[in-house]
Structure 1
Amino acid sequence: MARVRQERAEITRRAILDGAAVAFDHSGFDGTSLSDVVRHAGVTKGALYFHFQSKEALARALMDEQFQVAEGVDAIEDPGLQTVIDLTHQMAHALRTNARVRAGIRLLVEFGSFTDPDPTPYNSWIDTCHRCLVPAQERGDVHPGLDTHDLSTFLVGSFTGIQVTSHVRTARGDLHARVIDLWNYLLPGIAPADRFPLFDAEGSPDCRARLGLPGARSSAAAG
């Protein structure tokens, strides 16, 4: 019976997060009430408060979920520059297909604009990129004169701006194309000329296969 109750509680928690994601994705933090969450989730307010004590607790849970996209990085034996490229495409795909990730990113941008912003989520993404770029630089895939932490900070800021612009202009319909543009413009300044052809702005073959993206290499990377 305890296991059944635990499973039911987890189902309810997932329903609450799904309902909150729909509400926050549509209306943002200030525009969403707990009544909106309850309506979208199909649960009672009592069930909501059992799992989450406040609207902010719900928002934090959704913001934390975006980092599931990067969970596999630590398991990669030799992370590098292509790993970071693939991560940007994985996040772009999640933004287009996963309401929880969309809500989490919207909340992240909104919380980052508050009077007392929390830099933790941005710093986590910067650290993830940095863990990939340090070994990449050590094996000669990143120009030796570049500061990999500054580069990681720039990449996270650039992706954030690109996804917001894509959201406003095309409801993120062109987001993968804009990510490809980002890397086609940046790779010549990041990778030495003799290493440049090793990297694909469109994502690695495995990444494209997992995300269902077109398989053709970009002309820049193929050159």
Structure 2
Amino acid sequence: MTGRVVKQERAVRTRAALLHAAAETFAEYGFAGTTVSRIAERAGLTLGALYFHFKSKEELARLIVTGQPELVVPQLDSQGLQHAVDLTLTWAHQLLDDPVLRAGARLVMDQELFIKPSVNSYRQWTGILLDDFEQARRRRELRADVDTEAYVRLIVGSCTGAQIHTQLETSHRDLPARVEEMWRCLLPALAVPSVARKVRFGEERARVASS
């Protein structure tokens, strides 16, 4: 292995360590309470190393928030409404232990400080779920009068609200239950009865998705 390759691998590890440390620090202290010094100290690196890879804590926060959808990938193969359910349940269960997702949950109210409105997490998740709902429409899973955009906005808003509420009450421990509760309330109104009966969610799917 050449010296150049070793340096590249070291740089990749350093960058990953800084992102992980930043996520843990944002999750613990929030955006306002986080400093680059705290991030560097948690990573066990110097400020020089941090500034070599990242310009500011704003850049770190931006990368953490915008990169969240890449982390939430259901392991079970599904489409349409079932995929939307699997996606939100996977997110809810992973958030319990994933520092990057927990940081995103803490940063959600501060996004205007470091990210453009056109690319914030709300718009990201809305776009992803809208794709699922459009697929569900093509598969004739939805009731004829369902406004897909309105329901997607409602779901993203409900998940955001549940994330904030459960963080205050249980440190997110009951977030998966709140997400499942949301779907149980919404499915009868948006899905045709035969599809609503077939949608699966809860522990039996989340256990596989979060393994």
Q: Secondary structure at the match of 1:82?
A: helix
Shift of 1:111: 1.6
Structure 2 CA distance for aligned equivalents of residues 69 and 5 of structure 1: 27
**Residue 31 (structure 2) aligns with:** 29
Shift of 1:109: 2.4
Structure 2 CA distance for aligned equivalents of residues 116 and 130 of structure 1: 22
Structure 1 CA distance for aligned equivalents of residues 70 and 205 of structure 2: 18
Alignment of 1:1-223 (within 5 A): 1-70=3-72, 79-112=79-112, 118-120=117-119, 121-202=121-202, 207-212=206-211
Amino acid at match of 1:142: L
Q: Secondary structure at the match of 1:195?
A: helix
Structure 1 CA distance for aligned equivalents of residues 185 and 98 of structure 2: 28
**Residue 218 (structure 1) aligns with:** none
- Gapped runs of 5+ residues in structure 2? none
Task: Give the number of equivalent residue pairs.
Answer: 207
Q: Structure 2 length normalisation: TM-score?
A: 0.90
Q: Secondary structure at the match of 1:43?
A: coil
Shift of 1:61: 1.2
Q: Structure 1 length normalisation: TM-score?
A: 0.85
Post-superposition, which runs of at least 4 consecutive aligned residues in structure 1 deviate over 3 A? 69-73, 114-117, 205-208
* Aligned-CA RMSD value: 2.2
User: Percent identity, aligned pairs only?
Assistant: 35
Q: Secondary structure at the match of 2:33?
A: coil
8 Å contact from structure 2 (residues 80, 132) kept in 1:
yes
Q: Secondary structure at the match of 2:164?
A: helix
Structure 2 CA distance for aligned equivalents of residues 49 and 95 of structure 1: 28
Query: Which has the larger helix fraction?
Result: 2
- Gapped runs of 5+ residues in structure 1? 213-223
